Each structure stands twice: as structure tokens, then as C-alpha cells.
């Protein structure tokens, strides 16, 4: 039961074939059994969740109107404020923070009938591709406890993959939804920019509100694309302060028929070298889609990866370094004066981005807007583009200083922050992108690809994710986590 998809569980609850209380109790037992080894669920709100589940069952019995997520127990990434539950953002300074109200996205889920029963782990300020912090410790990957489930929505992904929750709410500025989905064999959707409210997200700190920073988004993780679609229908709403005049109605998918879909494939890139097993699995997926009737062509976007990454890093790093210690900022300002213009190392990009003047940022943002128009033209010829999510599958825990961390790709060591390179193009251009599982490496680790589509055409990405699931198999239960 606990591995059924969210939409299946909701149907069972509405048909009175399963109660919300029964499902919640089963999930809590699952948390008790598997969470000690994973450390994914870091806060529980059992008593209040049970009361809400009882009320959900009562509403079914009385024939009341039911929401699209009615009675579904679920967990929430600890980057979101949840009313009455400690919400830390992974930051020890906020470890006593108990919000008086839900983040707006959380409230949309609750209004749709979801029963929130727990919070899942994140890195400090959701600013790493691994999930660990000084409050709750390290979260492990269900596929291999020595490896990370990804970050920053790593607790979300580990909870889903191990059967502790049927649906999750994450956030993404550097792959933080898509990479954990890739590392854990799940579906994760980075929506088009600013169609899901981030009001109540941490960071910024308690007492501050983000109404949009130009890059980051909230979005769902799940074990099926159908669940992603249901969650998006619930979550895609204007911010509360705008809802008096604005509404959001996403267009339907361009097509649901595989023989009508036009797919570009971008499986590898010299600037952002990818593990050869990942590129191979992407090409196998493209071949499967072509055999099933899709039009498929291997082609890159209409600009270089370096151009895209340069713009992305100059937009991203001012956000990531906001509030950093003055000494750190002074060091980066000095370094920015010394690095060569063609130095694209992680440190050089960080220094340039952290030190950028607003007058220069305006020029970079104008370049971003031009590249968005290039993407728009690209998507007149193709419906989506398939690309790697990350340069590697899930890697082993590595928690030393950032400058001492590294990744190994095709036998060569490379910089740790290369892990976020493939997250950048969709974030920079505000595009929707759905991480979709496509198979396993020879060593048994999950691999996903990202389905990126035109701005505001999220449903086209999700429709293609369904097509890929149908030819590649979708979510698999990690070995050792099967139900007896």
C-alpha cells in the first residue's frame, strides 16, 4: 500500500476502500522502521495529523465535497514554514523557529486536503547538493547509505524512495528538486518561474519574505508523473498578495501522443562533461522514444553552454552570498579583480557573481532575456529537450570544506560544483524541467534525465515524462526497501 502512487491512494480514500487514518498509521510505522538508517524525516506532528486524518475520513463518510489531495498524508521539505512545527531551513540559528502560519505553497496543499505529518531534511540554508546540517545530521540515500540522496531536497527524495511519504514539496535554484530525484530514481518537477509561491520559504530568514528572486522555484517530487501533475494543479497559483487580480491557468500539453512529439536530445557537453553511463542511458531513452514513434534529433541549444553558465553564475551567486560575512565578501571582491575573464572555475564564478555591481547585473539580466527569446524560438521547432540532470549519479558523502571536495567523472577528478552545471540552463531561462528516471548504472544506482520545455508549458514536460516512463519503466523500489 505505501508504495502506491499518490493519485491511487487518494482514489482509494475517496472510494472508502482505504481510510486516511489507516494510511497515516502505515506511513508512521514505515518511518519508525526505515528512518533510523536514513535520517530523512526530521520532525513529526503525529497527534495533529491523526486528528486531521480522522476529520478527512469523517468528511468522506458524510459525502462532503473533497479536494484533489483529500486525506493524503505527506511530508514537507524543511525549507518551508509549517504552522506549529519547528521549521529550520537547516540553519542552527532558526532551530527554535515555530511558524504561526504555513508557507503559501504548503497552505495550498492543505486546502486541497493533504495531511502534513512531518518535515524532511535539508542542508544549511538549502545551499548544497547534499543534505546534512548541524541540527539533524546526515541524510542517506536508500539505494546506498554511503551516498547522498542529493540536495537540497534530499530528505524529500529519500522519504519518497523509501516509502515514508507518497508526495513531497521541494524547491530548486541549482537542481535541488531535479538532482535528488535523479539520485533516488524519482520524478521531480522544477516549474516555470514564479507560478508557485515561495512566500514562507526559508531562506530568507524568519521575518523576511521572498516574492521572487528571478531564479528559485518551489515544486513537487513524486513516484509518478501523474502525481506531479496533480500536485502542480494544486500548487500553481499566484502569490497571496497578487491573487485579488491575478490567476494562473497553465496550457495543456502540446500533445499526449508520442507520434506527434518533437524531441531534441542534448546528452553530453565538453564544457560540462557527464559520466558516460548517464549519456549512454539518455541515448538509449531517445532511441526507445524514436522506436515508439517520436521525432527525435540530437541537437544542442542555440548558444554555448559556457555562455549560459556565465549568465547563470552571475545571477545566482549574488543570491547565494547575500548576508555572507563582510570579511568573506571583501575577499571575494578582491579575487574578482584578479581572476582572468575566461577563468570559469567555481571560485572565479563565485567571486565575479558575489561582487557584481547592479549596473553590470542589469546587462547580465538583459543577456538572460535575450537567451530566453532564443529558447522560445528553439521551442517552435522542438517541443522539449532531453539532457542530463547532473554530471554523475549519487556520490559518496563528502562534508569537508568545499574547496577540498571533488567529483570523479570518467576516471578524472573535477570540481565539486560541476554537480550543478546542468541545473543552470533551465533555471537561468525560467523554464520548466521534469527529472525523470531512465534506468540504473552497472553498479545499480538510479539515473534520471531532465525534460525541459517552453516557459509556462509545464504540462508538456510532464506529458513527455509519462512517455519516457512508459518506455523505460519509471520508479523502482530500492533494493532492501521492498515490502515484505
What Å distances lie between residue 50 and 56, 99, 115, CA to CA?
A: 10, 20, 9
Chain-centroid distance, C-alpha 12? 27
Task: Report yes or no on whether pTM surpasses 0.75.
Answer: yes
In sequence order, what are the beta bridge partners of 385?
264, 452
Cβ-contact 105, 228 below 8 angstroms = no
Cβ-contact 142, 162 below 8 angstroms = yes
Cβ-contact 261, 253 below 8 angstroms = no
Could you read off the pLDDT of 205-239 as tens digits, one per residue?
Answer: 999 999 999 999 999 999 999 999 999 999 999 99
* 6-235 to CATH, choices 3.90.1300.10, 3.30.70.3000, 3.40.190.290, 3.90.79.10: 3.90.1300.10
Whether the domain at 6-235 and the domain at 265-307+359-472 fall into the same CATH topology: yes
In sequence order, what are the beta bridge partners of 415?
406
Radius of gyration of the chain (CA): 21
Assigned CATH topology for domain 265-307+359-472: Amidase signature (AS) enzymes (3.90.1300)
Q: What are the strands of the beta sheet with 41-44, ordered from one edge?
A: 41-44, 115-120, 73-77
Specify the DSSP class assigned to residue 396: B
- All structural domains of the chain with their residue ranges: 6-235, 265-307+359-472
Tens-digit pLDDT string for the chain (484 aa): 999 999 999 999 999 999 999 999 999 999 999 999 999 999 999 999 999 999 999 999 999 999 999 999 999 999 999 999 999 999 999 999 999 999 999 999 999 999 999 999 999 999 999 999 999 999 999 999 999 999 999 999 999 999 999 999 999 999 999 999 999 999 999 999 999 999 999 999 999 999 999 999 999 999 999 999 999 999 999 999 999 999 999 999 999 999 999 999 999 999 999 999 999 999 999 999 999 999 999 999 999 999 999 999 999 999 999 989 999 999 999 999 999 999 999 999 999 999 999 999 999 999 999 999 999 999 999 999 999 999 999 999 999 999 999 999 999 999 999 999 999 999 999 999 999 999 999 999 999 999 999 999 999 999 999 999 999 999 999 999 999 7
Amino acid at each position: 500500500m505505501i508504495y502506491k502512487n499518490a493519485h491511487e491512494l487518494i482514489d482509494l480514500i475517496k472510494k472508502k476502500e482505504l481510510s486516511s487514518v489507516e494510511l497515516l498509521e502505515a506511513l508512521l510505522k514505515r518511518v519508525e522502521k526505515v528512518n533510523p538508517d536514513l535520517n530523512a524525516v526530521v520532525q513529526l506532528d503525529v497527534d495533529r495529523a491523526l486528528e486531521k486524518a480522522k476529520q478527512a475520513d469523517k468528511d468522506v463518510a458524510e459525502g462532503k465535497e473533497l479536494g484533489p489531495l483529500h486525506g493524503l498524508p505527506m511530508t514537507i521539505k524543511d525549507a518551508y514554514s509549517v504552522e506549529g512545527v519547528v521549521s529550520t531551513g537547516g540553519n542552527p540559528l532558526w532551530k527554535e523557529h515555530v511558524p504561526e502560519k504555513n508557507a503559501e505553497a504548503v497552505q495550498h496543499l492543505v486546502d486541497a486536503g493533504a495531511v502534513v505529518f512531518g518535515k524532511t531534511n535539508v542542508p544549511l540554508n538549502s545551499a548544497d547538493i547534499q543534505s546534512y546540517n548541524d541540527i539533524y545530521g546526515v541524510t542517506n540515500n536508500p539505494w546506498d547509505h554511503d551516498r547522498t540522496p542529493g540536495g537540497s531536497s534530499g530528505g524529500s527524495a529519500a522519504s519518497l524512495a523509501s516509502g515514508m511519504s507518497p508526495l513531497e514539496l521541494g524547491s530548486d535554484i541549482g537542481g535541488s528538486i531535479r538532482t535528488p530525484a535523479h539520485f533516488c530514481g524519482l520524478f521531480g518537477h522544477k516549474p516555470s518561474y514564479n507560478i508557485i509561491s515561495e512566500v514562507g520559504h526559508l531562506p530568507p530568514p524568519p521575518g523576511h519574505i521572498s516574492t521572487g528572486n528571478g531564479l528559485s522555484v518551489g515544486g513537487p517530487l513524486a513516484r509518478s508523473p501523474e502525481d506531479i501533475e496533480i500536485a502542480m494543479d494544486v500548487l500553481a497559483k499566484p502569490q497571496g498578495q497578487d491573487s485579488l487580480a491575478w490567476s494562473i491557468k497553465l496550457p495543456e500539453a502540446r500533445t499526449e501522443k508520442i507520434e506527434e512529439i518533437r524531441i531534441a536530445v542534448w546528452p553530453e557537453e565538453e564544457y560540462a562533461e557527464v559520466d558516460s553511463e548517464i549519456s549512454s542511458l539518455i541515448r538509449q531513452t531517445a532511441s526507445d522514444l524514436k522506436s515508439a514513434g517520436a521525432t527525435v534529433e540530437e541537437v544542442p541549444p542555440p548558444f554555448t553552454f559556457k555562455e549560459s553558465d556565465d549568465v547563470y553564475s552571475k545571477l545566482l551567486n549574488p543570491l547565494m552570498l547575500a548576508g555572507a560575512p563582510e570579511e568573506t565578501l571583501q575577499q571575494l571582491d578582491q579575487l574578482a579583480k584578479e581572476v582572468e575573464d575566461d577563468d570559469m572555475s567555481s571560485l572565479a564564478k563565485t567571486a565575479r557573481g558575489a561582487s557584481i555591481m547592479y549596473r553590470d547585473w542589469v546587462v547580465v539580466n538583459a543577456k538572460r532575456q535575450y537567451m530566453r527569446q532564443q529558447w522560445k524560438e528553439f521551442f517552435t521547432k522542438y517541443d522539449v529537450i532531453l539532457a542530463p540532470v547532473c554530471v554523475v549519479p549519487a556520490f559518496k558523502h563528502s562534508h569537508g570544506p568545499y574547496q577540498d571536495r571533488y567529483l570523479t567523472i570518467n576516471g578524472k577528478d573535477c570540481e565539486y560544483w560541476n554537480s550543478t552545471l546542468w541545473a543552470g540552463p533551465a533555471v537561468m531561462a525560467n523554464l520548466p524541467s521534469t527529472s525523470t528516471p531512465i534506468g540504473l548504472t552497472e553498479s545499480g544506482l538510479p539515473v534520471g534525465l531532465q525534460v525541459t520545455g517552453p516557459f509556462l508549458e509545464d504540462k508538456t514536460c510532464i506529458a513527455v515524462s509519462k512517455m519516457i516512463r512508459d518506455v523505460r519503466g519509471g520508479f523502482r523500489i530500492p533494493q532492501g526497501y521492498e515490502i515484505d
